[in-house]
Structure 1
Amino acid sequence: MRSIEVPLPDAGVEREARRRLDGLVKPVGALGRLEELAAWLCAAHGTVPPPPVDDVRVVVFAGDHGITRTRPDVSAYPRQITAAMLRTFVTGKSGVTVLARQVGARVRVLDIAVDVDLDHIPEEVRAFKVRHGSGSIDVEDALAPDEVERAFDLGRAVADEEIDAGAQVLIPGDMGIGNSTVAAALVAASLGLPADEVVGTGTGVDEDGRARKVAVLDAALARAGHVEDPLSLLAALGSACAAATAGFVVQAAVRATPVLLDGVFSCAAALVARDLAPDAPRWWLAGHRSTEPAQGHALKALGLEPILDLGLRLGEGSGAVQAVSVLKAARAVLAEMGALADLT
């Protein structure tokens, strides 16, 4: 298994930030999590105060999952929604594009593995396609080994593009019917958990639908067996989108760029990515808490505490973009509040 080296945030700068926070015009620690986030941003950017959180970029990795081809009953919506949603992203009317505009974040969507070719979608959306869909993980591997490598490296390249263009914070988004089933499989296999502990309602299935998802996951986990290598795990139980997301968050850490993880899918990919780059989670924050139980297990394993808890389960990066306002507030506290020493 290859290991990817990642730099560490500046601990000395973080200590300096905490000293300054303690000296502001407030009781020590009175701003709670905002102070923790302010110090974290300082360590990530190597300066006190950190720069304004002005350039936030969301990259939505879109693709179809084979499980919805053979078992459409694992989702409340048909697999054709994935392709239809790409048009909605392009027109700026998706949930994440609307919410991103409220905080000044930019959204980019990429067709990584949508089942059909959408010629009417801009070329810059279609240029990164790895394959059409993925294998149905209950009966076959999701990807071939070379496809995993290609998708992972693609995610790294996209992160480089966004960072080179000025991104200060990256948010991985996802779009693909069946993605909560794939995410649950990755979390269960990574942490050795039974299917029933990680499966949620996804797009809104009822209890019978959840039971069907558990049965599908049991079959997928039994078929895959014990897989230790992260890329092999992505091949067996993941998808091209999951592999690209893993590469994206790893490369952000390599480039010392903060990441706001979103819901269950990005957290599942990050959990697998951690095994390739053990220090990468030092560069990641959890934007929000999803209603999916698999995300809770992934966050606990990653040592991350969500910034927001709004009962969201949309995906797309929509929860994480709402945490951007909290980061902006944390930065402003440190940059703009007065010091106790200056009181007269």
Structure 2
Amino acid sequence: MNSQSILQKYSFPPLEKDLSQALQSKIDQKTKPLGALGELEKIALQIGLIQNTLIPELKNPALFLFAADHGITEEKVSAYPKEVTWQMVQNFLNGGACSNVFSNFHGFTMKIVDAGVDHKWDQENPDLIVKKIANGTANFNKTNAMTTEQALLCLEIGAGIIEKETTSLQNTIAFGEMGIGNTSSASLIHHCISEIPLDELVGKGTGLDREGRERKFEVLKSSLKRGGTPTDPLEILSEYGGFEIAMMTGAFLAAGKLKKVILVDGFIASAAFAIANKIEPNLKDYCIFSHESDEIGHKKILAHYQVTPILRLGMRLGEGTGALAAYSILQLSVKFLNEMASFGEAKVSEKEI
């Protein structure tokens, strides 16, 4: 199986625009000046188009958090040891992480996917989906991160999780990640797809100082010299991907095909989006970009895809927290569309000139 066959399996059409004019008219007839609610109006229009209705609603939102370890941590590209990956997964399962707090606040169900964490779990947990490919990827400064077969398997598993673990009653999906070293993987993925210079994409990750960031950049530059700049999405994943990023890629494709409202988190989740969008460019129609991460390259990535993030709060935690923080804005967008009075209903005079 190759990229073309993946495209055929998970391909889906662009948004149907039949309701576009009617939705825009409904928005414009609300008791406000045209465009006065700014991005809220654009979000309401997009959600209405995704759900193909004039009265959209957000139902039973879910967060899928993909976790895996990265061999590149051998090169000291992160401020934290790789053990933090499994320790944070345990924290998620115990309910103690920021993503748990935000999920609980908004009523999200939360599932954690072990895509390749270097740890053996003591007991089963209903919130943990174990789909371990291996105990982390290989060190891509020395060899390719994974095989093409592993990349394909990740896509299949990630898509299967969304198909199996969600229902038609869950129409809003957010994706998060956990994996020490995964900003390194994401930087190279973004570079290969966007052609943005690597130096403009490599940031401080979990909190590197200037010297640490420069060391990280030199390691990634060396990795790029070894693996080149592939353009095929499967080759990119094989050379530089993480198991969690690759599984999330498949999950993006399945969520788009199922016409879910997709909340994209930050820099790393955007790397999974970038791969999935290269496989199926119509995916972007179903995605709402939640925030602009404080990771230095994310602003450039958002500009590359010509999308406007909902929030700019200087966040760089990952775990889907940016997507969860932005969910209130989606709720407000749907609320005004469905509940705000029109000029006619309120008997308010419309603009004359």
Same fold (TM over 0.5): yes
Which of residues 14, 17, 20 in structure 1 aligns to 2:20?
14
Is residue 111–residue 127 contact of structure 2 (8 Å, CA) maintained in 1? no
Residue 24 (structure 1) aligned with residue 20 (structure 2): no
2: CA distance, partners of 1:162 / 1:50 = 22
Could you tell me whether the CA contact under 8 Å between 2:59 and 2:169 is conserved in 1? no
- Residue 169 in 1 paired to residue 204 in 2? no
The question of 1:98 aligning with 2:104 is answered: no
Q: Do the aligned residues in 2 keep the contact of 1:291 with 1:313 (CA within 8 Å)?
A: yes
Q: Distance in 2 between matches of 1:132 and 1:265?
A: 20
Q: Does the 8 Å CA contact 1:170/1:252 hold for their aligned counterparts? A: yes
How far apart are the structure 1 equivalents of 2:323 and 2:17? 25
Q: Which moved more, 1:282-291 or 1:222-231?
A: 222-231
Alpha-carbon distance, 1:296 to partner: 2.3
Is 1:268 the counterpart of 2:271? The answer is: yes
Name the SS of the counterpart of 1:227 in structure 2. coil
Distance (Å, rounded) in 1 between the aligned partners of 2:331 and 2:126: 34
Cα RMSD (Å) of the superposition?
A: 1.4
2:351 maps to what in 1? Answer: none
* Distance in 2 (alpha carbons) for counterparts of 1:101 and 1:93: 11
**Aligned position for 1:54:** 59
Equivalence map 1:233-244=2 (5 Å)? 233-244=236-247
For residue 121 of structure 1, report the CA deviation from its aligned partner. Answer: 4.9
Over residues 135-184 of structure 1, what are the superposed CA-to-partner deviations in whole Å (9 max), with x where a residue is unaligned?
A: 11111111111111111111101111243263211111100111111111
Instruction: Deviation per CA, 1:64-83: give whole Å up to 9, x if none.
Output: 01111x212x1111111111
Task: Give TM-score, length-normalised by structure 1.
Answer: 0.95
The corresponding residue for 1:216 is 219
SS at match of 1:174: strand
State whether residues 61 and 109 of structure 2, in contact with CA within 8 Å, keep that contact through their aligned partners in structure 1. Answer: yes
Q: Deviations over 1:15-46 (max 9, x none)?
A: 21110111111111111111111111100000
Tell me the alpha carbon deviations over residues 41-65 of structure 1, each in whole angstroms, 9 at most, x when there is no partner: 10000001212x1311110000101
Aligned residue identity for 1:36: K
> Separation in 1 of the partners of 2:82 and 2:337?
46
Aligned mate of 1:340, from 321, 330, 343: 343
Structure 1: where are the runs of 5+ without partners?
none
Task: Compare 104-113 and 328-337 and name the one that shifted more.
Answer: 104-113
Identity %: 30
**1:192 offset after TM fit, Å?**
2.2
> For structure 2, which runs of at least 5 residues remain unmatched after alignment?
348-353
Tell me if the contact between 1:142 and 1:237 (Cα under 8 Å) persists in the aligned partners.
yes
Matched with 2:182 is 179
Alpha-carbon shift at residue 123 of structure 1 (Å): 6.8
CA contact (8 A) 1:268 1:295 kept: no
Distance 1:165 1:13, change over 3 A: closer
Deviation at 1:114, TM superposition (A): 0.5
1:115-194 aligned at under 5 Å gives the runs 115-122=118-125, 125-164=128-167, 166-194=169-197
What is the aligned partner in structure 1 of residue 230 from structure 2?
227
2:81 to 78, 82, 85: 78
TM-score normalised by L of structure 2: 0.93
Deviation larger for 1-10 or 258-267: 1-10
- Relative to structure 2, which stretch is displaced further, 6-15 or 88-97? 6-15
Q: Is the 8 A contact 2:111 2:129 kept in 1?
A: no
User: Which one-letter code corresponds to 1:329 in the other structure?
Assistant: L
Q: Quick one: distance in 2 between partners of 1:284 and 1:293?
A: 22
CA pair 165-89 structure 1, distance change in 2 beyond 3 A: farther
**Among residues 270, 295, 299, which one is paired with 2:298 in the alignment?**
295
SS in 2 for 1:177: coil
CA distance 1:85–1:287, change in 2 (3 Å): same
The SS at the match of 2:218 is helix
Do the aligned residues in 1 keep the contact of 2:93 with 2:127 (CA within 8 Å)? Answer: no
Alpha carbons 1:61, 1:174 under 8 Å: kept? yes
Length, aligned pairs only: 341
**Map 1:245-284 → 2, pairs under 5 A:** 245-284=248-287
Structure 2 CA distance for aligned equivalents of residues 177 and 309 of structure 1: 24
Name the SS of the counterpart of 2:33 in structure 1: coil
The answer as to 2:314 corresponding to 1:311 is yes
